[in-house]
Structure 1
Amino acid sequence: MISIKLVKYSIVKKEAGSKERFYRKPGRYNEPMPETTHIHLLPDLLISQIAAGEVIDRPASVLKELLENALDAGSSTIQIQLEEGGVKLIRVIDDGDGIARDELELALVRHATSKISSLDDLERVGTLGFRGEALASVAAVARVTIASRQQAGQHAWRLSAEAGATPEPAALPFGTVLEMRDLYYNTPARRKFLKSDSTEFAHCAEAVRRIALAHPEVGFTLTHNGRVSLHMPRSDVRTRAGAILGEEFLAESRCLDAAAGPLRVFGYCALPAYSRARGDAQYVYVNGRFVRDKLLNHALREAYQDLLHGSRYPAFCLFLEVDPATVDVNVHPQKTEVRFRDARAVHQFVFHAVQRLLSGPLATPPAPGAQTPAAHEASSHEPDHPARATQAGRPIFVNRVAYQGSLGIREPASSHTYLAFAQAAQTPASLPPATATIETEAAPLGYALAQLHGVYILAENHQGLVVVDMHAAHERILYEKLKHALDEQGLATQALLIPAVFNAEAIDIATAEEHAEALRQLGFDLAPVGPRQLAVRAVPVLLQAADPAALARSLLSELREHGVTQLLTAARNEFLASMACQGAVHARRLLSLAEMNALLRQMEETERSGLCNHGRPTWTQLSMTDLDRHFLRGR
């Protein structure tokens, strides 16, 4: 039996002077209503403390505001000194323009700034700071001191933010030193919300990295409790990206630089193989300002969608340049969100720029002067004839007769090139070495030599050895073909000479009958042949080499889970990727030389073929230099 306890709130009548006031009885969290209810102005200090609650939520927020002021002052070198995670001390030293003596006191007043003076300036903000709130907000919750000297000044001037303080002379090279001590000393309730010193320092260090990444022309040094934590000298975008995101990120990234009218986006996008378990390597900037914008994040997520599946996160650092008049940066207290005047145009521009980059050419030509196989010195112990594999697990060389079945891959128009090369490989004397070199230069992935463990294709190209994961590569090829066919005219059907019959549940038979038209659109013809049996009478031409029964079971399961509408729209690509995975050539299957070369040519013609549908690389290159280094040749 369930009992319900009713809580009765009583209305209590209370005398307040000559007036009768009614209020709810105070409960556990309720406080009596204040006696004063008339409208009045808040004190300036309380106003600043309220503003600080919006702008300053932890030491990292203070540091961000101070760094933005230093950059707006034209600094070329900035030093940051922290103590106890920035709670006890944040000191920012810059070599910027400095502040005049007469303006020091004004710098600590709310809404006092040198960066804008009219509504037109606000609508075309080109600086990182512009509201004139930061220093006043910090001074309301911490002890702040400013020392500054302009280049033309005879000496520096120092001012404390304490009431009644006046500027006094100080010794300082040109620039500004802004010091904040004892954050939230006068609001202890807010101080309780801060985390440990190590956690607060981690947030401060990340704030420095975010700003430093967008300003490689400025040198940054960060110390914590007297120890240097970060030191980044002045450099270029690539060097700074490597210092912050790591050299591995650069090695696994592609450089982006695209423009369309007033829009430009540049930076680095990591390949999906470099994906991460967390989104901690994603940096997006608008006119040099770090942002977390839902529109831009969605565009980037969509650009990676066909390459990165599951719960992995891509890595990138991208800089978007737009006309300041077309973007509103005054929509968030901490200026981490923006609003674009033409949001759709920006979304499509970023999406297509990144998608084209990730779908770019499979391989780039070797650098001029690169060593070619023909020019490479032959080893003195090389055999005069191709090796023959006679034991399991050893390479299958070109003179071995492999399985002659079909992968369902058409031979490209340029197939005569690799066929000629294949014939020459079987009769080496018929093709001079110079001609062989020209032929290997004709295709980025070169020409097949062997199959290793029934899993990898070994090929020779202009640079050296190419190793291809044949299942992953074939999976990507089928996936792109399935998408294209469904977009164009629907999937062509191949009738089976002998229908594939399999046992099915009653719900499977009902699903096949209910969605017969959708199944035909996807290239399948299924029909019941008994109370518990279904027959597959036709499959898509592109998947004719796959197991028809397995494909049908997977399709029926997807239809039950998603429904036909979602399967042909939102979940379409995931379904096609699943079908491509089942239809791709599996490990341990021996391929003929022609099949291996046909697969290589198709990879060169297919978008995004450097990665499979799950974001894994499909091939890798081992140059002659790499091989020489491994075998200590020339030493």
Structure 2
Amino acid sequence: MGKINRLDEHLSNMIAAGEVVERPMGIVKELVENCIDAHATNIEIQISQGGIESISIIDDGEGMDSGDATLAFERHATSKLKEVNDLWNIHTMGFRGEALPSIASVSHVLLRTNNGNESTEVEIKYGTLVCAKPCATPKGTMIEVRNLFQKTPARFKHLKSPQYEFSLISDVVQKFALSHPDIGFLLSHDGRTVFKTRGNGSLLEVLMQIYGRETAKSAIALDGKDNDYMIDGYIMQPQYNRATKYYMLLYINGRMIRNYHLQKAVMDAYAPFLPKDRYPIAVINLHMDAQLVDVNVHPSKWEIRLSKEKQLEKLIYQTISEALTNRLEVPKIKINKEEKKEKIEMQELEFTYERDNQTKQLHLDVNQSFLSPQKEEQVKIIEEIPDTNIEKKELIKVEKETVDYTQLPKEEKMLVKEDGFKYEIKEEPVSVNIVSQEESMTVETVEEDIKPSDSQLKNEYFAFKPQVEKQKLEISKEESFTPKNPSLPQLRVIGQFHNSYIIAEGEKGLYIIDQHAAQERYHYEVIRKQILAGITETQPLLIPITIESTMSAVSQVNDINALLEQLGIHLEAFGNTTFVCRELPVWMKDIKEEAFLQDMIDIWEKDKEICIDKLRKRAISTMACHSSIRFNRSLTLEEMKQVIKDLEKCEQPFHCPHGRPTLICMEDKDLIHEFERG
């Protein structure tokens, strides 16, 4: 007797605060959830010194009367629950009634609230009520938390720099904005606005503010449901990925959560499209009956328990896989358009001495030749003027204009001088043969002498006429083929770069194809199709393979074989800790059999199940890699065309089995910008 003490209320609140209020970010999360439960349409968060000095949160919600304003700071006092059954049907963000008393026990809190009828101010200093009195304040609630953990040094010393603490606050506010795009959020730090949303209900607009315009433009809308769950939100194209999994945001009925199994379903759906150790960007809203989820797991409310969790995992996987398959795009080359190029201005020559008209014209021509090309009129000469028997070698000067030589009638041709004037040359009609692009055609130009009577005219002609190389262009007929995936553009091979990449042109611009990855994708789908068709031929092994394992695994050999026999693999117990395999499927000839079998047994021991599809995918990927074109191999034009044709036969031609892109695109608009033609 006498060893057990009943803790007083203040000490109990401080202990509870250790779970609810770990750092300033936890306070912001709890208070913003209260604002959402109060049906606020605008929430303003003001942070000073990373929240260590002060946190102020203002909303325009329902507010409270004087009695509720004081009662809210007592333990387990909440407006969200009334009876036991309400605990299993929670539709609000908060429900425990622990946040406010826990916060007030470790800080100096000032609350002002107005419910439309009366206004109240409540001040509590480290768990002690200072005052509760009427005040003047707008409708809604304002709560200010100052000097956090000043009287709990054990917790205060574990806080990090203000910049780090504010980064956590900023992250959680952005997550709130993504889950509630219909609420306007304003976040400021030390008097400077850092983040703001309009609250117009547009999730895409919030995505653009957080992740940037290009990322938001790549967003793919989700729409999936079954009898119990409904999914919406957005996922980004695989080319927009991150090095950590913290950009996969999951919300259940508007509540931000952390759940490993649901995140894994997202990663599994992205696995064919992402390289190893890269993670997608996704904002996924899960809607369900509140009775299917238990949020009363931890005071911080990040963790949950789900009924029919496997069913939800499958729905997430299928919804994302279908969305990616239907809306996948060729990755685009990212060009930094913000970098301003230095503009070079040409100096114009100035002369001050007296000169005659002929000298003035000469100086004018010199100055014109140094001006920026953007200031000159564009002159386009398409064809070379042929040498003909010109009866009248007189040039007639006409109005100054830009001339398109191809638009002239056959009876006359134009000689365009650099001074911008056009001159007519009378000549005999010239016949022109037009050959279609589908036919084989030869373009030849023959340069002959022209003998105008005026020697000055002759010099001017040869000075400004275009130089056309003699060339021969052949275009062969090819069968038109519609790609199996409609998102893959029609490509025409141009050439090969560094014996590793195929260069092609398409509807949107210049495409660069990784020859190894493209062939790997094609071979992967071919081999997979053969295996899934039921080819289960096995090959007896001259020397059986032995695999060391555990006594527990060997004792359950029948359970393991029940799964492995779907792949045509059978194991036998060989002693207490060893398996032996005497035959293997023919399709495993190009992989390391012993390592593959060892991995399967290890996976089974960990999860008591084996994902046949994943193991088969890994084996097929290895075989496809070994049988594909390697880097640094020179290809003929026909071989390059065949790579493109094989890619067009793929159901998913954009990524190799390991998640790397098979082709990327540099769009026309980017080329125009880089060459400053826009």
TM-score (norm 2): 0.65
Q: 1:603 aligns with which of 621, 637, 647?
A: 647
Alignment of structure 1 residues 94-243 onto 2, 5 Å:
94-153=59-118, 156-162=119-125, 163-235=128-200, 236-243=202-209
Q: Deviations over 1:293-345 (max 9, x none)?
A: 12211211222233334322222221111121211111121111111111111
3-state secondary structure, aligned to 1:198: helix
Q: Deviations over 1:108-165 (max 9, x none)?
A: 1112122222233322211111111111111121111110112344xx3211125454
The residue type equivalent to 1:479 in the other structure is Y
The residue type equivalent to 2:248 in the other structure is Q
The 1:253/1:141 distance shift into structure 2, 3 A limit, reads: same
CA distance in 2, matches of 1:214, 1:610: 31
CA distance in 1, matches of 2:209, 2:600: 48
Q: 1:486 aligns with which of 503, 511, 531?
A: 531
1:555 aligns with 2:592: yes
Residues 265, 313 of structure 2: 8 Å contact kept: yes
The residue type equivalent to 2:18 in the other structure is G
Q: 1:427 aligns with which of 440, 444, 456?
A: 440
Residues 445, 460 of structure 1: 8 Å contact kept: no
Unaligned ranges ≥5, structure 1: 1-34, 365-378, 384-422, 495-507, 523-537, 544-550
Alignment of structure 1 residues 237-316 onto 2, 5 Å:
237-316=203-282
347-356 or 250-259, larger mean C-alpha shift: 250-259
Residues 272, 655 of structure 2: 8 Å contact kept: no
The 1:428/1:165 distance shift into structure 2, 3 A limit, reads: farther
The residue type equivalent to 1:61 in the other structure is G
Residues 465, 622 of structure 1: 8 Å contact kept: yes
Counting matched residue pairs gives 499
301-310 or 178-187, larger mean C-alpha shift: 301-310
Alignment of structure 1 residues 327-342 onto 2, 5 Å:
327-342=293-308
Residues 275, 660 of structure 2: 8 Å contact kept: no
The residue type equivalent to 1:129 in the other structure is G
The 1:438/1:338 distance shift into structure 2, 3 A limit, reads: same
The residue type equivalent to 1:177 in the other structure is M
TM-score (norm 1): 0.69
The 1:428/1:180 distance shift into structure 2, 3 A limit, reads: farther
Residues 362, 609 of structure 1: 8 Å contact kept: no
Alignment of structure 1 residues 335-414 onto 2, 5 Å:
335-360=301-326
219-228 or 60-69, larger mean C-alpha shift: 219-228
Q: Which residue of 2 aligns with 1:618?
A: 662
The residue type equivalent to 1:159 in the other structure is V
Unaligned ranges ≥5, structure 2: 331-379, 385-435, 443-474, 548-563, 570-584, 604-609
CA distance in 1, matches of 2:196, 2:293: 33
Q: 1:325 aligns with which of 279, 283, 291?
A: 291
Q: Deviations over 1:185-230 (max 9, x none)?
A: 3322222222222222222121211212211222222222223222
Q: Deviations over 1:347-367 (max 9, x none)?
A: 111111112222335559xxx
102-111 or 459-468, larger mean C-alpha shift: 459-468
Question: How many angstroms does 1:592 deviate by?
Answer: 6.3
3-state secondary structure, aligned to 1:125: coil
Alignment of structure 1 residues 1-40 onto 2, 5 Å:
36-38=2-4, 40=5
Q: 1:573 aligns with which of 612, 617, 623?
A: 617
CA distance in 1, matches of 2:645, 2:182: 44
3-state secondary structure, aligned to 1:36: coil
The residue type equivalent to 1:613 in the other structure is P
CA distance in 2, matches of 1:159, 1:592: 82
The 1:447/1:315 distance shift into structure 2, 3 A limit, reads: closer
CA distance in 1, matches of 2:533, 2:481: 34
CA root-mean-square deviation = 3.8
Residues 451, 591 of structure 1: 8 Å contact kept: no
3-state secondary structure, aligned to 1:620: strand
Question: How many angstroms does 1:556 deviate by?
Answer: 5.0
Q: 1:472 aligns with which of 509, 513, 517?
A: 517
Q: Which residue of 1 aligns with 2:30?
A: 65
435-444 or 572-581, larger mean C-alpha shift: 435-444
CA distance in 2, matches of 1:268, 1:160: 43
3-state secondary structure, aligned to 2:272: coil
The residue type equivalent to 2:152 in the other structure is T
Question: How many angstroms does 1:271 deviate by?
Answer: 3.3
Residues 273, 616 of structure 1: 8 Å contact kept: no
Residues 451, 590 of structure 1: 8 Å contact kept: no
462-471 or 316-325, larger mean C-alpha shift: 462-471
3-state secondary structure, aligned to 2:33: helix
Task: Report percent identity of matched pairs.
Answer: 31
CA distance in 2, matches of 1:462, 1:164: 71
Residues 496, 635 of structure 2: 8 Å contact kept: no
Q: Which residue of 2 aligns with 1:369?
A: none
* Structure of larger gyration radius: 2
